[in-house]
C-alpha cells in the first residue's frame, strides 16, 4: 500500500506552500465526502524510490474543532472519516516566527502517540528578525525530528545557482523527505500495542473536552518551558510594530486610512489602465479589419467579426483594470494589512448583525462571490454563516468591473477635480453603494430573520512584511488565466450562441431597420423590453441581460455583439463606448449601473449557494430579493435622473 503523510498546521504557517514544494505538479484537488471542505492530495517520491501520498489538511488551531475545516482535520488525523485511512505519519508545519501559538497544536498532536516530524517553516524570516532557535534542543524537548524549511524562497536566483552547482537547496526539502522516510519506517514497524494506545489517547482527549480551559493552561505552560529552553531570546524579539498598529488600527485614523487606500485604488484603476486598454482596442479593431479584408462577406465572416471578435474583444479590453485592482488587493494581503482591516471593521459589522468572522469572506467576494461564499465555512454559527452567504453577492465582484468601466467611460466625463479623476470617484461610489446595501440587508436580516448574537472576531494578526514579488506575479497570473479561460470558454460559447440568435431568421424582403430586430434575439429583446422599459432599458440591453446571468462580464460582450450586428456600415464593433453614448440617455446608463449594484448573481454563484446550504430554498430566496432590489433601485435611479436632466 502507498504510505500516507498528513500535513497539519495553523492557518498562515506556510503549510500549502510546503505541500507545493514537496509534491510539485503531482497534485489533485477535490472535496471531502459529505462536506464542501477542499481536499488537496499529492505524490512525493521518497529517497528509497517509494511513492508516498501527501494530504494538505485544512488549517487548524486545535484538535478541538470549532469550524467545518477544523472538524475535517480532526477526523482525518483520528482516522474517523469513512473510506479514508488514518495517515501513517504526521508532518506538523510550524511558523518559526510564531512558535508560541503554533506549538500548542504540536503538543496536542504529540499526545496522540503517532509518528511525527516537525517542519520548522519560515526560518529565513525568523533569522532576519534575530530569533535564535536551537533546533537540536527543540527536537529533544518535543521528542521528534525538527527540520528547518523555507517553503517560499524569496531569493530565487540564489536557489537557481545552488541547483546549477549541484548543491542542496536551502529550502530543507531533502532533509524533510529523508526524515519523513525514517518516520514511515518506524510507523511500519509499530506494534499493535502502539495502535491500541493511540486509540485510547484519542478517546481520552475527547472525554476531557469539558476541561478545555485547564487543558489550554497546561499546554501554554509546556510551550513557555520549551521556548525558554530552545528559544531563549523569544521574548526579546518584537513580532509586531506597535507604532504602526497604533495608527492603522486606530478607531478614527484607521478608518480614514482604509477609506483613503480604497479611494486611491479606484483612482489607479482608471488612471493606469488607459494605455494598455487603448492598445487592446486597437489590436481588436485591427484583427476585425484584417478578417474583413481577407474574407468574403458571408455568415462565417459575420460570426468571426460580429460575434467572436466584437463580443470577446469587448470583454478582454478590461483585463488591465482587473489586474490593477487585484494587484492592490494581493499587495495588501501580502503586507499583513487585511486582517487589521478586519479587526478595524469588526465593531461596525457587529452593529449591523454580522459575525466578526464575516469580514474575510466578504472581502473575498470583491474578487468573486463564489470563494467568498465558500470562505464562510470558518463561521461556526449557522445563522451567522447564512447571513453572510446571503449578502456576499452584494459585494462588488470583479465581473462587474467591465460593465462599470464601459458605462463610466461612456457617460462620466474624464474630468479632473484637482488631482482627483471624476471617473475614479464614480467607481469608488459604486463600490461604496455595494457595501452600504450589504450592511443594510444584514441589519434587516438581523431583526427579522436570523436573530443571532454578536460574536467578536478572533483572528491571528500576521506581522508586517514587504509583499513578495514572486507571489504577486503568481497571483496576477492566476487571475489572468481565470479571466482568459472565462473569455475563451463561457464567453466565447455564449457569444456564438448569441450571434446565432441575432442572425437567424433573416429579415423578410422589403424589411426596414437592422436585421437583428427580426431575429430570435430581437424577438426575445422586444418581449423583455415590456418588463424593463419602466427602468429605461431598451431591447438591446434586455437581450444582454439574459447571457449576463451565466457570467456578469458576458453582458458587455453581448452588447458588443448586438450593437455590432445592428450598427450601420460606418460603425464598427470597436466603437461600442461612443455608440452607446449616442444611443442611450444618461438616465438609462445610471439605471443600468444601479441594476448591476444589486443584480441577481450568475448561475454558478447560485449553484454554490445551493451546495453550501444543501437546499434550493436559499438560492431562490437570494435571486428573488436581489432581483427586487435591482428593479426598485433602477426604477428610482431612472426616474430621478430623468427629472434632474429634463428639469
The pLDDT of residue 459 is: 64
Beta partners for residue 93, in sequence order: 9, 119
Higher pLDDT, 240 or 112: 112
Taking CA 49 as the corner, what is the angle to CA 44 and CA 53, rounded to the nearest 5 degrees? 30
Q: Does the pTM exceed 0.95?
A: no
Q: Are 467 and 335 within 8 A, CB to CB?
A: yes
Q: Which grid cell is 82?
A: 469513512
Query: Which residues 6+ apart lie within 8 Å of 58 measured at CB?
Result: 37, 38, 69, 70, 72, 73
The reply to whether CATH 3.10.290.10 applies to domain 4-236 is no
CA distance 352 to 53: 46
Q: Which grid cell is 134?
A: 536551537
Q: Are 298 and 536 within 8 A, CB to CB?
A: no
Q: From the centroid of its chain, how far is CA 363? A: 8
Q: If pLDDT is split at 50, 70 and 90, which confidence band does 89 have?
A: very high
Res. 164: pLDDT tops 50: no
The pLDDT of residue 455 is: 57
Average pLDDT over residues 408-419: 77
Query: Which residues 6+ apart lie within 8 Å of 63 measured at CB?
Result: 73, 74, 77, 105, 108, 109, 205
The pLDDT of residue 148 is: 94
Res. 104: pLDDT tops 80: yes
Helix (H) or strand (E) holding 234: none
Task: Give residue 12's region: left, alpha or beta (phi > 0; psi -120 to 50).
Answer: left
Q: Which grid cell is 575?
A: 466603437
Domain boundaries, the chain: 4-236, 254-452+469-646
Its sign, for the CA torsion 629, 329, 239, 17, is positive
Q: Are 5 and 53 within 8 A, CB to CB?
A: yes
The pLDDT of residue 387 is: 87
Higher pLDDT, 142 or 70: 142
Express each pLDDT in 456-495 by its tens digit. Answer: 566 667 777 778 777 788 778 877 877 777 667 766 777 7
Strands 89-95 and 116-121: parallel
Q: Which grid cell is 220?
A: 501554554
**645 to each of 201, 223, 406, 642, how far by Cα in Å?**
75, 69, 21, 5
CA distance 332 to 140: 39
- Compute how many other C-beta atoms are within 10 angstroms of the C-beta atom of residue 528: 17
Beta partners for residue 147, in sequence order: 119
Higher pLDDT, 40 or 225: 225
Per mean pLDDT, which range of 167-171, 281-285, 319-323, 541-545 is the poorest?
167-171
Express each pLDDT in 72-83 by its tens digit. Answer: 899 999 988 877
Q: Are 54 and 19 within 8 A, CB to CB?
A: yes
The pLDDT of residue 395 is: 87
Transcribe 583-623 into DSSP letters: HS-HHHHHHHHHHHHHPPPPHHHHHHHHHHHT-SHHHHHHH
Average pLDDT over residues 622-632: 93
CA distance 154 to 245: 25
Q: Which of 345-349, 427-431, 561-565 has the highest mean pLDDT?
A: 427-431
Res. 571: pLDDT tops 50: no
The pLDDT of residue 550 is: 65
Q: Which grid cell is 467?
A: 509583499
The pLDDT of residue 128 is: 83
CA distance 166 to 247: 48
CA distance 274 to 264: 16
Q: Are 441 and 394 within 8 A, CB to CB?
A: yes
CA distance 277 to 293: 24
Its sign, for the CA torsion 355, 356, 357, 363, is positive
Res. 643: pLDDT tops 70: yes
CA distance 15 to 122: 10
Express each pLDDT in 503-557 by its tens digit. Answer: 888 888 877 766 777 888 888 888 998 999 999 998 888 888 877 776 666 777 7
Q: Is 76 exposed, middle or buried (0-12, 13-18, 19+ CB in 10 A)?
A: buried
Cell 536566483 belongs to residue: 157
Express each pLDDT in 175-221 by its tens digit. Answer: 999 999 999 888 777 543 343 444 333 334 444 445 566 777 888 89
Query: Which residues 6+ apart lie within 8 Å of 503 measured at CB?
Result: 299, 302, 515, 516, 519, 565
Express each pLDDT in 591-617 by its tens digit. Answer: 999 999 998 767 778 877 887 888 889
Express each pLDDT in 202-211 by its tens digit. Answer: 334 444 445 5
Mean pLDDT score of the chain:
80
Average pLDDT over residues 163-173: 59
The pLDDT of residue 196 is: 41
Cell 494605455 belongs to residue: 275
Q: Are 630 and 600 within 8 A, CB to CB?
A: yes
Query: Which residues 6+ apart lie within 8 Å of 547 measured at CB?
Result: 494, 497, 498, 554, 555, 557, 558
The pLDDT of residue 65 is: 84
The pLDDT of residue 570 is: 42
Q: Which of 327-336, 463-472, 556-565 has the highest mean pLDDT?
A: 327-336
Beta partners for residue 116, in sequence order: 90
Q: Are 329 and 367 within 8 A, CB to CB?
A: yes
Q: Percent of the chain scored above 90 by pLDDT?
A: 23
Q: Which grid cell is 343?
A: 479587526
Q: Is 280 helix (H, G, I), strand (E, B) or coil?
A: helix
Q: Is 3 helix (H, G, I), strand (E, B) or coil?
A: coil
Average pLDDT over residues 234-245: 76
The pLDDT of residue 516 is: 74
Per mean pLDDT, which range of 145-149, 257-261, 433-437, 553-557 is the poorest?
553-557
Higher pLDDT, 289 or 266: 289
Q: If pLDDT is split at 50, 70 and 90, which confidence band does 647 have?
A: low
Instruction: Classify residue 34 by its DSSP letter.
Output: T
Per mean pLDDT, which range of 10-19, 243-252, 362-371 is the poorest?
362-371
Helical H segments across 352-489, by residue range: 359-364, 369-374, 382-391, 401-411, 422-448, 469-486
Strands 420-421 and 416-417: antiparallel
- Using only C-alpha atoms, the chain has a radius of gyration, in whole angstroms, of 28
Average pLDDT over residues 423-452: 83
CA distance 457 to 126: 27
The pLDDT of residue 626 is: 93
Beta partners for residue 94, in sequence order: 120
Q: Is 518 exposed, middle or buried (0-12, 13-18, 19+ CB in 10 A)?
A: middle
Which of 60, 37, 64, 66 is closest to 384 using CA atoms?
A: 66
The pLDDT of residue 24 is: 78
The pLDDT of residue 153 is: 63
Average pLDDT over residues 576-583: 81
Res. 568: pLDDT tops 50: no
Query: Which residues 6+ apart lie within 8 Å of 318 measured at CB?
Result: 277, 401, 402, 405, 406, 553, 556
Amino acid at each position: 500500500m502507498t504510505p500516507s503523510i498528513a500535513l497539519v498546521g495553523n492557518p498562515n504557517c506556510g503549510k500549502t506552500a510546503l505541500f507545493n514544494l514537496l509534491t510539485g505538479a503531482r497534485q489533485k484537488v477535490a472535496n471531502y465526502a459529505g462536506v464542501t471542505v477542499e481536499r488537496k492530495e499529492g505524490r512525493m517520491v521518497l529517497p528509497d524510490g517509494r511513492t508516498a501520498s501527501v494530504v494538505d489538511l485544512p488549517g487548524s488551531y486545535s484538535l478541538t474543532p470549532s469550524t467545518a475545516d477544523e472538524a475535517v482535520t480532526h477526523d482525518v488525523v483520528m482516522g474517523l472519516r469513512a473510506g479514508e485511512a488514518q495517515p501513517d505519519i504526521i508532518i506538523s508545519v510550524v511558523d518559526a516566527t510564531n512558535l508560541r501559538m503554533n506549538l500548542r497544536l504540536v503538543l496536542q498532536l504529540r499526545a496522540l502517540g503517532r509518528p511525527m516530524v516537525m517542519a520548522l517553516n519560515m526560518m529565513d524570516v525568523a533569522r532576519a528578525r534575530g530569533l535564535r532557535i536551537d533546533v537540536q534542543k527543540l527536537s529533544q524537548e518535543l521528542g521528534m525530528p525538527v527540520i528547518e524549511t523555507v517553503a517560499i524562497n524569496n531569493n530565487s536566483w540564489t536557489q537557481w545557482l545552488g541547483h546549477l552547482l549541484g548543491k542542496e537547496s536551502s529550502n530543507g526539502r531533502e532533509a524533510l523527505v529523508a526524515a519523513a522516510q525514517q518516520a514511515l519506517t518506524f510507523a511500519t514497524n509499530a506494534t499493535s500495542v502502539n495502535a491500541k494506545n493511540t486509540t485510547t489517547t484519542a478517546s481520552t482527549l475527547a472525554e476531557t473536552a469539558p476541561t478545555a480551559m485547564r487543558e489550554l493552561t497546561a499546554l501554554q505552560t509546556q510551550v513557555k518551558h520549551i521556548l525558554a529552553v530552545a528559544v531563549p531570546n523569544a521574548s526579546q524579539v518584537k513580532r509586531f510594530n506597535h507604532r504602526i498598529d497604533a495608527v492603522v488600527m486606530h478607531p478614527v485614523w484607521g478608518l480614514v486610512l482604509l477609506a483613503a487606500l480604497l479611494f486611491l485604488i479606484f483612482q489607479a484603476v482608471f488612471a493606469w489602465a488607459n494605455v494598455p486598454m487603448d492598445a487592446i482596442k486597437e489590436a481588436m479593431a485591427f484583427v476585425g479589419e484584417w478578417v474583413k479584408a481577407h474574407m468574403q462577406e458571408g455568415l462565417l465572416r459575420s460570426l468571426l467579426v460580429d460575434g467572436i471578435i466584437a463580443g470577446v474583444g469587448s470583454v478582454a479590453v478590461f483585463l488591465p483594470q482587473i489586474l490593477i485592482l487585484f494587484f492592490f488587493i494581493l499587495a495588501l494581503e501580502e503586507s499583513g494589512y487585511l486582517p487589521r482591516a478586519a479587526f478595524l471593521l469588526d465593531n461596525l459589522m457587529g452593529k449591523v448583525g454580522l459575525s466578526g468572522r464575516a469580514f474575510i469572506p466578504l472581502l473575498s467576494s470583491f474578487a468573486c462571490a463564489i470563494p467568498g461564499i465558500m470562505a464562510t465555512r470558518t463561521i461556526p454559527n449557522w445563522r451567522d454563516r447564512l447571513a453572510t452567504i446571503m449578502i456576499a453577492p452584494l459585494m462588488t465582484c470583479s465581473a462587474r468591473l467591465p460593465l462599470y468601466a464601459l458605462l463610466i467611460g461612456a457617460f462620466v466625463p474624464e474630468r479632473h477635480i484637482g488631482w482627483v479623476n471624476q471617473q475614479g470617484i464614480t467607481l469608488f461610489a459604486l463600490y461604496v453603494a455595494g457595501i452600504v446595501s450589504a450592511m443594510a440587508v444584514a441589519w434587516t436580516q438581523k431583526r427579522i430573520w436570523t436573530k443571532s448574537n454578536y460574536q467578536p472576531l478572533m483572528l491571528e494578526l500576521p506581522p508586517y512584511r514587504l509583499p513578495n514579488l514572486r507571489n504577486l506575479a503568481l497571483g496576477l497570473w492566476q487571475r489572468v488565466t481565470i479571466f482568459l479561460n472565462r473569455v475563451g470558454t463561457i464567453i466565447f460559447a455564449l457569444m456564438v450562441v448569441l450571434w446565432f440568435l441575432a442572425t437567424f431568421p433573416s429579415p423578410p424582403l422589403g424589411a426596414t431597420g437592422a436585421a437583428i430586430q427580426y431575429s430570435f434575439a430581437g424577438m426575445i429583446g422586444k418581449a423583455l423590453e415590456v418588463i424593463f422599459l419602466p427602468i429605461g432599458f431598451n431591447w438591446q440591453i434586455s437581450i444582454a441581460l439574459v447571457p449576463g446571468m451565466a457570467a456578469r462580464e458576458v453582458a458587455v460582450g453581448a452588447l458588443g455583439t448586438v450593437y455590432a450586428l445592428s450598427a450601420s456600415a460606418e460603425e464598427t464593433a470597436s466603437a461600442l463606448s461612443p455608440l452607446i453614448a449616442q444611443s442611450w440617455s444618461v438616465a438609462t446608463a445610471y439605471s443600468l449601473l444601479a441594476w448591476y449594484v444589486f443584480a441577481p448573481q450568475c448561475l454558478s454563484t447560485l449553484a454554490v449557494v445551493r451546495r453550501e446550504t444543501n437546499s434550493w430554498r436559499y438560492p431562490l430566496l437570494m435571486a428573488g430579493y436581489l432581483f427586487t432590489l435591482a428593479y426598485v433601485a433602477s426604477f428610482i435611479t431612472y426616474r430621478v435622473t430623468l427629472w434632474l436632466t429634463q428639469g
